[in-house]
Amino acid sequence: MTSETSRESSRVGITLETYILEGMMGHPAATGAFTSLLNQVALAAKLITSKVRRAGLANVLGYTGQTNVQGEEVQKLDEVANETLIQALGRRGHCAAIASEEMEEVVLLHKDPRARYVMVFDPLDGSSNIDVNISIGTIFGILRRHDHSGPATERDFLLPGKELLAAGYILYGSSTMVVLTTGAQSGVHGFTYDPTVGEFFLSHENIRIPDKGKTYSINEGNYPLWTEPVRRWNAWIKEDDKTTGRPYGQRYVGSLVADAHRTLLKGGIFAYPADTKSHDGKLRLLYEANPFAFVFEAAGGKATTGTDRILDIVPTRLHQRTPLVLGSPRDVDIFEEFMRGR
Ligand code: FDP
């Protein structure tokens, strides 16, 4: 391949806006509503990044009710991120309602029947890491309403994850990245933010998770609470056996976006299983597990509860929890074998 053709076939370096626009051009019947929604997510990503990057300096850190040096009331960063997303998504009229980790109920944005989409998000995940300057993130998913003749209700959100039209996350790490997919056909792509020009550029084109990895990611402090199958899998993954690449290394940030992102790029397994304290696991189905399951499957990975596919679960509640196991197909398969009694 000449350098000219390889340059032509790679889109690395295009902006997130161009990528979104090209996606719309590939669908002649598109109205532009979905494109506009994705662009508003990109805008929110820039706005939240600027707040996250100044967190320590601007005294945004802290708890609601505290006052900063100017005597102004300080808002928690996760509330700032939540407000930013609501305002960005409310602006164009395509998003009928949102469900957020930060809010008990669904928030209605537009009653107009032309608002055909709803969005789920966790505005700032891993919030216990904010105060210690460790990577955090925003997780989001977009669903199409089945019936958009009347105002949106909670029913519009209680759909299995396999109905997501798009999902992704924004990682505020050593750089800010948006990782986005509209499904397996379009692939999973990562865009890195250049703060000097205020744009996201395609840096990770068509991310594919390795078939098998070398690390496992789990809160091992929960060992006493784990069920027997999880303990057996945990003991197995730490055994010394060169032929199967064990022992695996352990990596756990405690910030889902960071742990899942590393697992997506490097392979391996992330698990937050059910335990004797949290029978349904800790993580939330609609705006944590489903978007990541959608991303992982589109990248060739797997996402299960340990026994069932995450994207098939029909939710009954907005803030429902689920056990979550994400990762390389071979690593997740082995975890499931242990759950079945290996
Ligand atoms: P956090 O409590 O800091 O908000 O979604 C909740 C979450 O973080 C995830 O980001 C993270 O993976 C998990 O909880 C960490 O939980 P543990 O502290 O129990 O390990």
Name 250's bridge partners. Answer: 216
CA of 314 to the centre of ligand 1 (A): 23
SS3 at position 133: coil
The CA-CA-CA angle for residues 161, 162, 165, to 5°, reads 90
The stretches in the chain having pLDDT less than 70 are 1-8, 28-30, 56-75
Let me know if 108 is exposed, middle or buried by CB neighbors in 10 A (0-12, 13-18, 19+): middle
Nearest CA to ligand 1 atom 7: 126
**Quick check: CB of 258 below 6 Å from ligand 1?**
no
**Quick check: CB of 78 below 6 Å from ligand 1?**
no
Nearest CA to ligand 1 atom 17: 254
Using the atom order of ligand 1, give the atom closest to the CA of residue 122. 5
Return the pLDDT at 28.
Answer: 62
CB < 8 Å & 24+ apart, contacts of 302-305: 302/326, 302/327, 302/328, 302/329, 302/332, 302/333, 303/332, 304/332, 304/335, 304/336, 305/274, 305/281
Q: Kindly list the distances between the CA atom of residue 45 and the CA atoms of 82, 113, 139, 171, 178, in Å, as whole numbers in the listed order.
A: 11, 27, 11, 9, 8
Give the span between the Cα atoms of 198 and 215, in whole angstroms: 34
Query: CB of 58 within 8 A of CB of 69?
Result: no
Return the pLDDT at 77.
Answer: 86
Give the span between the Cα atoms of 107 and 274, in whole angstroms: 30
Query: CB of 206 within 8 A of CB of 259?
Result: no
The separation between CA 293 and the C-alpha centre of its own chain, rounded to angstroms, equals 9
Give the span between the Cα atoms of 186 and 25, in whole angstroms: 13
Give the span between the Cα atoms of 183 and 186, in whole angstroms: 6
Omega before 247 within 30 of 0, i.e. cis: yes
Query: CB of 156 within 8 A of CB of 97?
Result: yes
Nearest to 275 by CA among 231, 315, 310: 231
CA of 254 to the centre of ligand 1 (A): 5
Using the atom order of ligand 1, give the atom closest to the CA of residue 219. 20
Return the pLDDT at 114.
Answer: 82
**Quick check: CB of 255 below 6 Å from ligand 1?**
yes
Return the pLDDT at 1.
Answer: 45
**Quick check: CB of 171 below 6 Å from ligand 1?**
no
Q: Which positions ≥6 away from 214 have C-beta within 8 Å?
A: 245, 248, 249, 266, 267, 268
**Quick check: CB of 220 below 6 Å from ligand 1?**
no
Give the span between the Cα atoms of 292 and 310, in whole angstroms: 10
Using the atom order of ligand 1, give the atom closest to the CA of residue 257. 10
CA of 326 to the centre of ligand 1 (A): 15
* Distance between first and last Cα of the chain: 47
Q: Which positions ≥6 away from 123 have C-beta within 8 Å?
A: 48, 78, 81, 82, 84, 85, 100, 101, 102, 138
**Quick check: CB of 249 below 6 Å from ligand 1?**
no
Nearest to 200 by CA among 334, 22, 44: 44
CA of 167 to the centre of ligand 1 (A): 20
CB atoms within 10 A of CB 55: 18
**Quick check: CB of 126 below 6 Å from ligand 1?**
yes
Rounded to two decimals, the pTM is: 0.93
Return the pLDDT at 239.
Answer: 98
Q: Which positions ≥6 away from 232 have C-beta within 8 Å?
A: 338, 342
